[in-house]
A and B are shown apart, each in its own frame.
Chain A
Amino acid sequence: GAVVSQHPSWVICKSGTSVKIECRSLDFQATTMFWYRQFPKQSLMLMATSNEGSKATYEQGVEKDKFLINHASLTLSTLTVTSAHPEDSSFYICSAREPGDAYEQYFGPGTRLTVT
């Protein structure tokens, strides 16, 4: 099946710094990618939808100036957490959809972010 990777798998950063998370579709082109956030023992919450070559669409309550999303190519989307704070510590997961497939998404393994 289609494979989505994320890098890094875990990262620790200091409060006030920025950190970038990459999401790559390894064997298919993804016109649409999604970014989710998962809190411990809770569901995945959609943060934004990323379409190649256009601005991301953010969900209500998600600060777009804090969580910068770039989808510069058909195989790569990045999420940059700017001026990170301890409350941004979470598990971030991306998924990707193939063109023409209205149903299935392929998920990355996630990135654990810890802000100290």
Chain B
Amino acid sequence: GNSVTQMEGPVTLSEEAFLTINCTYTATGYPSLFWYVQYPGEGLQLLLKATKADDKGSNKGFEATYRKETTSFHLEKGSVQVSDSAVYFCALSKTQAGTALIFGKGTTLSVSS
């Protein structure tokens, strides 16, 4: 069945450090891939998405590239800020309308000044 595996946290970084959160997936067909972020006390928000192989999603300095050959969708940011502290979830969805998301377990990022 479909599944998402992401690196376990917590990830602790200093401000302006480089961030990578690994995410790999198992799926049949051609899923769309997402990164969601959950700030403390808030609901999940879509951070970025990619709907086909080699697409790069980007938002707020974060990037992730849909790599079909390695079934990966790693999240990166060149210089993290304290305000990036949150839980990050990798997820996949089939392209068919109405299909729900399958989430990874989430990775907690803590950035200190």
Contacts and interface: CB of A to CB of B under 8 A. Distances in A.
**Is A bound to B?**
yes
Interface in B19-64: 32, 34, 36, 41-46, 49, 51
B105 A105 contact: no
A4 interface: yes
Interface residues of B, number: 24
B4 to A, nearest CB: 8
Nearest to B94: A102
Interface of B: 32, 34, 36, 41-46, 49, 51, 89, 93, 95-98, 100-106
23 contacts: A4-B43, A43-B106, A44-B101, A45-B103, A46-B101, A46-B102, A49-B98, A93-B44, A95-B100, A95-B101, A100-B97, A102-B32, A102-B96, A103-B93, A104-B49, A105-B46, A105-B100, A105-B101, A107-B36, A107-B44, A107-B45, A109-B42, A109-B43
